[in-house]
Amino acid sequence: MKADPFNNVAEVTERLEEEYPSSNLGNKERPFDELVYTVLANRTREEYYQRAFGRVKDLVKDWNQLPDVEDEDLAAAIGDAGLGRKKARTLKHAASLLQNDMDEVSLDFLENMSTEDAEDYLLRIRGVGPKTVKCVLMYALDRTVFPVDTNCARVGNRTGWLESSARRYTKAQMHRIEERVPSRLRRSLHIRLVQHGRRTCTDGKPHCDSCPLNDLCDYYEANR
């Protein structure tokens, strides 16, 4: 019978912290900033979405102006971060929803909501999924949640943590994974899995020989 792969989650976190001592991925302290940042990050490379965030901020000096920005102008600002029209629609819908509900384009009110209620509110935004929601909750609201992005999923699938080969997870699936990771480790482990997926456990051909987790990895064992 295969051992529970979550039994070594603390060891995995410790190894990855040694490998990646920096925990700064450029995420934002204000919730709406983080929402914009994470939406822009969808399906693109880090340097592209970071530049796109700067261009969007240059275009929209005050988020309260966002509902009135032309879709074409917003998509152009998103530019090489990709999916410009789709991401523009998501951001415009978020801004319009908040303006209608709160009379301002801000998510600061989520600080006074439970994690579950804040999550449910964010999921009302068309185009926003569980990973984006949990990033806002973790980075901007300091909640002990565990986002599973494509990097986390890839590392999890290869090491055998995650039984599903899915690249994206539903709200229920993400909650089940989250429950298996101790709350004190969630933020650090998520950040390091993102870093590890970008640098070592890459899409396509991973760099298994230099991986600090290769002795714990099903993929490495099967392909060595």
Mean confidence (pLDDT) of the chain: 93
pLDDT for 202 beyond 90: yes
Give the model's pLDDT for residue 170. Answer: 84
pLDDT of 169 reads 80
The reply to whether 137 and 153 lie within a common domain is no
Segment 127-138 shows an average pLDDT of 97
Boundaries of domain holding 173: 5-23+146-223
Q: What is the pLDDT of residue 186?
A: 97
Q: How confident is the model over 50-105, as pLDDT tens digits?
A: 999 999 999 999 999 999 999 999 999 999 999 999 999 999 999 999 999 999 99
Regarding whether 218 and 161 lie in a shared domain, the answer is: yes
- Could you tell me if 33 and 56 are in contact, meaning their C-beta atoms sit under 8 angstroms apart? no
Mean pLDDT within 128-155: 96
More confident residue, 78 or 43: 78
Residues 99 and 115 in one domain: yes
Do 122 and 72 lie in one domain? The reply is yes
Q: Check whether 157 has a pLDDT greater than 50.
A: yes
| CB neighbour list of residue 66: distance below 8 Å, 6 or more residues apart | 60, 74, 91, 92, 95, 105
Higher pLDDT, residue 8 or 142: 142
Between 2 and 116, the more confident residue is 116
Of the three residues 106, 126, 141, the one that is the final residue of a domain is 141
What is the pLDDT averaged over residues 171-181? 91
- Give the gyration radius of the chain's Cα atoms: 18
Looking at 141, 165, 199, which one is the last position of a domain? 141
Q: Are residues 41 and 130 in the same domain?
A: yes
Q: Domain with 174 in it: what CATH number? A: 1.10.1670.10
**pLDDT at position 195 over 80:** yes
Is the same domain home to 155 and 71?
no
185/118 same-domain check: no
- Helix 46-59 and helix 71-78: axis angle, to 10°? 140
- Domain-ending residue, one of 100, 125, 141: 141
Residue 199 pLDDT grade (very low, low, confident, very high; cuts 50, 70, 90): very high
**What percent of the chain has a predicted confidence (pLDDT) above 90?**
84
Band (8; pLDDT cuts 50, 70, 90): confident
Is the confidence at residue 140, as pLDDT, over 70?
A: yes
Structure token digits, residue 163: 């039984």
Please state, in angstroms and rounded to a whole number, the distance separating the CA atoms of residues 60 and 162. 40
In this structure, are 114 and 213 located in the same domain? Answer: no
- Domains held by the chain: number: 2
pLDDT for position 1 = 43
Decide: residue 104, CB within 10 A, 0-12 exposed, 13-18 middle, 19+ buried: middle
The dihedral formed by the CA atoms of 92, 32, 129 and 74, expressed in degrees to the nearest 10: 30
User: What's the pLDDT band for 165 if we cut at 50, 70, 90?
Assistant: low
| Residue 72's CATH number | 1.10.340.30
Confidence of residue 189 (pLDDT cuts 50, 70, 90): very high
Give the residue ranges of DSSP H helices in the chain. 9-19, 31-41, 46-59, 71-78, 84-102, 115-122, 130-135, 141, 150-159, 171-180, 186-199, 218-223
